[in-house]
Amino acid sequence: MKQYLLAVAGALGAVGREMLRALEERNFPIRELRLLDVGENVGKEVLFRGKTVTVEESRPEAFEGVDIALFAVGDGVSRMLAPEAVKRGCLVIDNSSAWRMDEGTPLVVPEVNPEALRHHHGIIANPNCSTIIAMVPLKPLYDAVGIKRIIASTYQAVSGAGIAGIGELKEQTLQVLNQEAIAPQVFAHQIAFNLIPHIDFFEENAYTHEEMKMFREGRKILSDPELMVNCTCVRVPVFRSHSESITIETEKPITPDEARAILAKAPGVKVVDDPAEKLYPMPADTSDQDLIFVGRIREDISSDKPGLTFWCCGDQIRKGAAVNAVQIAEKMVEMELI
């Protein structure tokens, strides 16, 4: 099998470290690994497959000779460095939102739309974490009976805001229990023992940018510009793994049992749906793994049109970010596109 010179930009961040873990776990064919990060991290060492790799500075010249680069950096850095990497013959798989809605950039969930990988200009975008978690179970239902409308509410863990978000929840939990004053830094309000219906900035239509990502990205991934999506995103005091309540209006009728049978065979999905035994997806069970758990599958009784409601959970750092990027690279190799 061909071996690749692979770089990870933002290698020491939360997502970058998970990318390294996934590359090692999944035995991606790497001839040489190049780790890139900000200046303050240059010279630090990381153990990968039993060997020490020294971190280099993220700069255009660092991509010379690189076949594939996984980007775990912010939008601004990606906008600056990704084109430089492409100029040097590198395929960039980017986890930021910088390129997601770019017309010439495929937005890919490998279980959902791998065919989009055939049409790129050097950059492939990872969707938003909550979009990935929703699309994995939605696609097999979309293929089976069609979906006209999606109403989603997301319950997003603090790790979606990075290491700082995790630290703020830990600190505030102790402050609340000790009856100490709280001064939020990462989130707009107290997150410990609270819910915040506000992630990212508010757009002119009163929806947050995070909510509109589901709308825009869902349409692009499914190649369905007529798909109707309404989303509410909520930050919850959970350390890891996002949860989502999703209601769909389908073009053809489908029963909950039929949906369970379809999802049980779907790639990337695990059906956990036995309310009598108190079995349903929960963040605590879905953290630190790569499947999207789906349960509470039931008929939508709010409408006379065909539809279903279900609940799903997935680890947004792994499948919602790092692992999805690695899977894109794997799919490119499998499809002989690199």
- Residue 178 pLDDT exceeds 90: yes
**Same-domain status, 185 and 247:** yes
The CATH number of whichever domain residue 202 belongs to comes to 3.30.360.10
**Same-domain status, 123 and 137:** no
**Same-domain status, 68 and 42:** yes
How many structural domains are present in the chain?
Answer: 2
Q: Would you state the pLDDT for residue 121?
A: 95
- Residue 1 pLDDT exceeds 80: no
Q: Would you state the pLDDT for residue 215?
A: 97
Alpha carbon distance 15, 325 (integer Å):
10
Smallest CA-to-CA distance from 25 within 330, 337, 235, 334 is with 330
**Same-domain status, 269 and 168:** yes
How many angstroms from the chain centroid is the CA of residue 247? 20
Q: What is the pLDDT averaged over residues 9-22?
A: 95
Q: What is the pLDDT averaged over residues 55-78?
A: 96
**Same-domain status, 325 and 244:** no
**Same-domain status, 57 and 169:** no
**Angle at which helices 209-222 and 129-145 pack, to 10 degrees?**
40
Q: What is the pLDDT averaged over residues 183-187?
A: 96
Number of H helices, E strands in the chain: 8, 14
**Same-domain status, 155 and 55:** no
pLDDT band at 48 (very low <50, low <70, confident <90, very high): very high
Residue 174: how many CA atoms within 13 Å on its side-chain side? 5
Can you read off the two tokens belonging to residue 317?
């750092």
Active site residue 90: no
Q: What is the pLDDT averaged over residues 267-288?
A: 97
- Which residue segment(s) compose the domain that 294 sits in? 131-316
> What's the pTM value of the predicted model, to 2 decimals?
0.94
**Same-domain status, 118 and 170:** no
**Same-domain status, 292 and 249:** yes
Rounded to the nearest integer, the mean pLDDT of the chain is 96
Q: Which of 129, 231, 233, 313 is catalytic?
A: 129
Residue 8 β-bridge partners:
35, 70
Q: Would you state the pLDDT for residue 282?
A: 97
CB 275 within 8 A of CB 288: no
How much of the chain exceeds pLDDT 70, in percent? 100
**Same-domain status, 210 and 102:** no
Q: Would you state the pLDDT for residue 163?
A: 85
Alpha carbon distance 212, 128 (integer Å):
11
The CATH number of whichever domain residue 55 belongs to comes to 3.40.50.720
- Residue 4 pLDDT exceeds 90: yes
Alpha carbon distance 247, 244 (integer Å):
10
Tens of pLDDT, residue by residue over 208-236, are 999 999 999 999 999 999 999 999 999 99
Q: Would you state the pLDDT for residue 334?
A: 95
**Same-domain status, 48 and 151:** no
pLDDT band at 287 (very low <50, low <70, confident <90, very high): very high
Which three-class secondary structure state does DSSP give residue 149?
strand
Q: What is the pLDDT averaged over residues 178-186?
A: 96
Q: Which of 90, 120, 231, 242 is catalytic?
A: 242
- Residue 162 pLDDT exceeds 90: no
**Same-domain status, 330 and 251:** no
Q: What is the pLDDT averaged over residues 35-56?
A: 94
Alpha carbon distance 135, 142 (integer Å):
10
Q: What is the pLDDT averaged over residues 187-199?
A: 97
CB 317 within 8 A of CB 15: yes
Tens of pLDDT, residue by residue over 111-145, are 999 999 999 999 999 999 999 999 999 999 999 99
Cα dihedral sign for 164, 236, 15, 73?
Answer: negative
Residue with tokens 């990870």: 8
Active site residue 242: yes
